Amino acid sequence: MAVIRSSVLDWLAHRGALKRWRRAARQAPAYSFKELRRERAKARKLRYELNELIALADHRLALPVIGSAVFPKPHGTDWAWRPALWREALAVPGMSSAQSGTRLGDEIVLFHDCKHSELTLRQVRNLREADLAPFGLRMDVFNFDGSFLSLALDLPDGAVDGLKRAHLIRVDAIVELEKPLEIFVRLNIKHGPNTEQLVRELPLKEDTVMVEFDLAYSKLNEKRVERAWIDLIFENPQMSQVTVRDLTLSRRPRAEF
């Protein structure tokens, strides 16, 4: 009852304020200079507070909506996915001195062979108008005494349901680099006792940062596909910062000729 009463009182107060300023605007031509100065001062104070509210609301409403799975998909796509890290706020948004095998969320696993880890991983909120993903992943690498660094991402069951050698699997990314760096994407598909592995380098200098894996060139056993995952492999990452603003995957049948 208290909430309902408060809502009604707020509505009545708002309605009364609107009537008061409408009346002031209509009567302004008849005001004396003293009355005009007084009303103008009140209106300016009110306008300042309203502009503050509007600016804050515009900023927050312009951000990508949390939970959004919206992104452009190639024609004919039969499966598409944005991982949870780029959609939803994580309960534990980051870690420092991250050890190999550490998980960030339910899908991302960090792997490296550093003796002394000087790596940090954290989820960041995307604030740019161009961003479709609500969140991004930032990795800071300081001293790096290892030989490899990668992030493994488990793909959901939908990625392998009905998977055929006639499929193309596409990975799109938006990546910000502090310094030039090579990043490779490795697609791993476990089928029976074997694991098919396909590797592509992300074209970070291109306008569209994406790679496609054509399974027609693989030795995939379609009848025994069990699961799939991708690895993001970072070459010479020492003293660098990498922000993956978005990461999406999609699958479609290749064109028949």
User: With bands split at pLDDT 50, 70 and 90, how would you rate the model's confidence at 68?
Assistant: confident
Averaged pLDDT score across all residues of the chain:
89
Res. 6: pLDDT tops 80: no
Q: What is the mean pLDDT of residues 115-144?
A: 90
Instruction: Specify the pLDDT at position 4.
Output: 58
pLDDT of 17: 84
CA gap 241, 223 in Å, rounded:
41
Mean pLDDT, residues 113-119: 88
Q: Which band of pLDDT confidence, cut at 50, 70 and 90, is reported for residue 1?
A: low
Residue 178 DSSP code = S
CA 36 to each of CA 21, 23, 39, 41: distance values in angstroms, whole numbers, following the listed order:
13, 13, 5, 8
What is residue 59's predicted lDDT score, i.e. its pLDDT?
59
Q: Does position 189 have pLDDT exceeding 90, yes or no?
A: yes
Please check the confidence at residue 43 and state whether its pLDDT lies above 70: yes
Q: Which residues pair with 199 in a beta bridge?
A: 186
**What percentage of the chain has pLDDT greater than the value 70?**
93
- How far is the CA of 33 from the CAs of 2, 38, 89, in angstroms? 44, 9, 55
pLDDT at 195 over 70: yes
Residue 66: is its pLDDT beyond 90?
no
Q: What is the C-alpha to C-alpha distance for residues 174 and 235, in angstroms, rounded to an integer?
A: 18
Which of the given ranges, 48-52, 191-195, 204-208, has the highest pLDDT on average?
191-195
DSSP letter at 74 equals -
Bridge-based pairing of strands 79-81 and 225-235 is unpaired
Report the candidate in 138, 142, 110 with the shortest Cα–Cα distance to residue 123. Answer: 138
**More confident position, 206 or 163:** 163
Residue 10: predicted pLDDT: 81
**Sequence-separated (6 or more) residues with CB below 8 Å from residue 148:** 111, 112, 113, 233
In whole angstroms, what is the distance from residue 148 CA to residue 105 CA? 22
Q: How many CB atoms are closer than 10 A to CB 175?
A: 18
Is the separation of the CB atoms in 252 and 81 below 8 Å?
no
User: Which domains, ranges and CATH numbers included, belong to the chain?
Assistant: 2-62 (no CATH), 79-253 (2.60.120.260)
Q: Is the pLDDT of residue 149 over 80?
A: yes
